[in-house]
Structures are given as structure tokens and as C-alpha cells.
Amino acid sequence: MKKNESLRVPFFVFLFLSILIFGLSKTGILNGAVSVLGKATAPLQSITFQSFNVFRGAGNSNKVKAIEEVNRELLKQLVGQQALKAENDALHDQFQVANPRSKNLLPARIVGAPSFIPGVTEPSSFIIDKGTSDNISVGDAVVFKDNLIGKIGQANMYFSKVFLITDRSSLISAKILGKGTDGVINGEGKQMILNNVVQSSDLKISDIVVSKGDLDLKGRGYPPDLVIGKVMSVKKTPSALFQKAEVANLIDFSSLSIVFIARGQ
């Protein structure tokens, strides 16, 4: 009881002072005192403000990190969507082509291009994400739409190496589209050479060169009538047995991200 009574006195004193200060503040009398008090407590206010900003900055930093993480996730989703769209477009376009037959085709992503340096060198081979576990065999043709890209040169269970038609090891039986002109395509790195064309054959610039076809009994190898390239120049020497032509492929290999393997039986 005595304890409650001892607390009443300070309570009423603080209540009285509060009412007094409130009343004086309304009259403007305390404006100077408040100003002096503000100056006196300015350092404390500054420290308090800076401390608050530190905590607020830490909060903002966390927010920035969260926003950056969301942006990274959105960018990853965007890249995935673009890759999926490109693949769907390629699949749609490929399956509109009558040659080679769609039922024998297996789509594959290009996951590597050994020794290819953009703007410096041209790709001569690709690494794709399909292998022997996908019924891929060495010698299978690789195409994009009705264009011949190359053939499987090496394969393991999960990956294969595609040697492009421009590779120096490439050797393809070929013919001129719409003409009875035969020859052999040799890769020359950046372009190709059509060799072994008899002198009497009508060979002209802008002729389209296609594969002659060399499938085996299992349906493996180069299917016929796949586009190899276009004749850019013709070299014909009267004293030689054969004439030859420089041929450029019609596909920009460096822009490809997906190809199709023409599997045999």
C-alpha cells in the first residue's frame, strides 16, 4: 500500500509538468528552449540518424541482392525459352522436309566445336549430345533441313563428333542438280572442291551440288539429293582429263545450334 502511494507522487508531478509544457508550447514561449535543446542534442541525433541509415543500408543491400537473384533467374528462364523456341522451330522446319525421311531423323544439340574461333577460324567439326546409346553409328549422315552438314566420325555412349563436309577429311560422291554431271566433293577447310568432273560435262557458276548417295544395306551413309553447296568458280584446263569447281556451302555452320542425324536401321 505504501509502495502505491510512493508512486502516485511522481506520477502526478510528471502529469503536471506534461500539461504545463504542452500549454506553454501552444503559446510559443518554449520555441527558443526547444531550439537550444535541439542544438544540444544534435550530435546525438546525427549518430542516431547515421546508425539508422546503416541498418537501412543493410536492408537495402539485402533487397538489392534479392533483386539481382530474381533477375538472374529470369535471365536463365529467358535463355531457356529462347533455346526451346529455336529447337521447336528447327524441329518444325525439319519435319516439313521430304528428304531425308523424318522418321529416320534424330535431333541433336551442338555442344561443342573443337578448334573453332569465331571471326578467326571456321568450324570443321561439331560435338553433339547423342551417342551410341541413341543408336548412333559412325558413318551416319548429319543434316539440317535438306542440307548435308557432315557425318558421324567418332561416337561414344553419350556424345558424337561430326566431321563437316568442309573438313579436309571429307570425301562425298556428288552431282550437279538437274544435270547428268557427277564428281567428288573434297573438303578444303573453308570451302570445298568438286573434282573428277569430265571435261565434256556442262559445269557452270551457280550450279547446285547435291549428294549422289552412298547408303549401305542398313541405310547408313549419305542419302541422295541433299544440298552440299553452290558452284562459285570453274577451272577447266583443255589438256586435263577433268575439270573442277570451287563450291561454297549454303549453310552458315557457325550459326547452327541443332542438327539431325539420319540413322540407319
Residue 28 φ/ψ, nearest 5 degrees: 90, 0
CA-CA distance, 256 to 238, in Å (whole number)? 41
Instruction: Indicate whether 244 belongs to any domain.
Output: yes
Torsion of CA 122, 99, 110, 79, to 10 degrees: 110
Measured CA to CA, the distance from residue 107 to residue 256 in angstroms comes to 12
What are 107's strand-pairing partners? 260
Q: How many percent of the chain have pLDDT more than 90? A: 43
Lookup result for grid cell 506520477: 11
In a domain, 251, yes or no: yes
Kindly state the average pLDDT of the residues 86-99.
57
Q: Kindly state the DSSP code that residue 234 receives in the 8-state scheme.
A: E
Per the domain annotation, does 42 fall within a domain? no
**H or E stretch including 77?**
helix 42-94
What burial class does residue 201 get, using C-beta atoms within 10 Å of its C-beta: 0-12 exposed, 13-18 middle, 19+ buried?
middle
In a domain, 227, yes or no: yes
Q: Is residue 96 part of a domain?
A: no
| Residue 124 burial class via C-beta count within 10 angstroms: exposed 0-12, middle 13-18, buried 19 and up | buried
We report the CATH number of the domain holding residue 178 as 2.40.10.340
Query: Which tens digit of pLDDT belongs to each residue from 205-248?
Result: 999 999 998 888 888 889 899 999 999 999 988 888 899 999 99
Instruction: Answer positive or negative: Cα dihedral of 135, 140, 145, 146.
Output: negative
Provide the domain count of the chain: 1
Residue 204 is part of which domain span?
A: 101-265
Residue-wise pLDDT tens digits, 161-217: 999 999 999 999 999 998 889 999 999 988 899 999 999 898 999 999 999 988 888
Task: Look up cell 556442262; give the residue.
Answer: 202
Please check the confidence at residue 41 and state whether its pLDDT lies above 50. Answer: no
Domain membership of residue 254 (yes or no) is yes
Hey, how many other C-beta atoms are within 10 angstroms of the C-beta on 69?
10
What's the pLDDT score for residue 58?
A: 55
Residue 158 lies in a domain: yes
pLDDT for 48 equals 47
Beta strands in the chain (DSSP E): 105-112, 125-128, 141-144, 147-155, 160-164, 171-176, 182-187, 192-198, 208-211, 227-235, 242-248, 258-262
In a domain, 256, yes or no: yes
- Helices H, strands E: what count in the chain? 3, 12
